[in-house]
A and B are shown apart, each in its own frame.
Chain A
C-alpha cells in the first residue's frame, strides 16, 4: 500500500536555527498536509498543499509540494522553544477517495534554548 517516509526521524537544534524536514512517497499524492503534534494531544494542521510546485507559508513555516507529486518539504525559520513537537506529513494518495488520508512516521523536533 501507499507509504510515506519522513526524514530526519529526529532533530536537536539550537534556538534560532532554521529547520528543514521532508517527506517522500513511492507513489503520487494529490494533497500534502503538514501537522504538528504536542505530547498527549491530537495533531494540528500547519499547512495544506494542493498543487504540484505550490509553495505556501504560514508565519515562520514554509512548505512545498514537490513537482513530481511524490515529495514535500517543511521549513521552519528561526526556531523557538515552542516549536518542539512531532511533525507529521500526511497526504491523500492519487486515485483514492477523499476519505483516505495517510500519515508519515513523523519527525521529532527538539529545540535547545
Chain B
C-alpha cells in the first residue's frame, strides 16, 4: 500500500530556533500534500495545502511566515517552523494525495511530535 513517511518522528528544540519536518511519499507520486496540526486530545486541524512547484495555500489563522512549506518534488514536502515557541509544541501530521478527487487516495504520515522548551 501507499506509504507516507515523516522525519523526524520527534524533536525537542529551544525556543527561538527553527525546525524542519520532512514528509515523503515513498512509493507513489503525490499530486497534493497537506499539513495538519493536532494538539493533545484534539482533532486534526488543516494548516496548509501544497502542490509541487507552487506556493502553499494556508488556512485562515495560520501564519505563512512562521510555517514555511516547500514542496520541492512530487514525493517531498517540508514544513519549517521558524522561531519556534512553546505554543508551537504539537503533533504535526502530513498527508499525501494521489490525484485530485479520490479522497480514498489520501494517505497520512505517522506524525512528528514537536516540543519547544
Contact = CB atoms under 8 A, between A and B. Distances in A.
Question: Are A and B co-members of a single complex?
Answer: yes
Interface string B1-34: 0001000000000000000000000000000101
A31 interface: yes
Interface stretch (A63-71, A76-84, A100-108): A100-108
Interface string B80-117: 00000000000001010000110110111111010000
B44 A103 contact: yes
B46 A101 contact: yes
Interface of B: 4, 32, 34, 42-46, 49, 57, 93, 95, 100-101, 103-104, 106-111, 113
Given A48-B103, A105-B43, 13 more contacts: A33-B103, A42-B93, A42-B110, A43-B93, A45-B104, A45-B106, A48-B104, A98-B100, A99-B57, A100-B46, A101-B106, A103-B43, A106-B43
A93 to B, nearest CB: 12
Interface in A7-29: none
Contacts of B4: 42
Interface in A83-113: 88, 92, 98-106
A59 interface: no
A44 B43 contact: no
Contacts of A48: 103-104
A48 B107 CA distance: 13
Contacts of A103: 43-45
A104 B4 CA distance: 22
A104 B44 CA distance: 8
Nearest to B94: A42
B109 A42 contact: yes
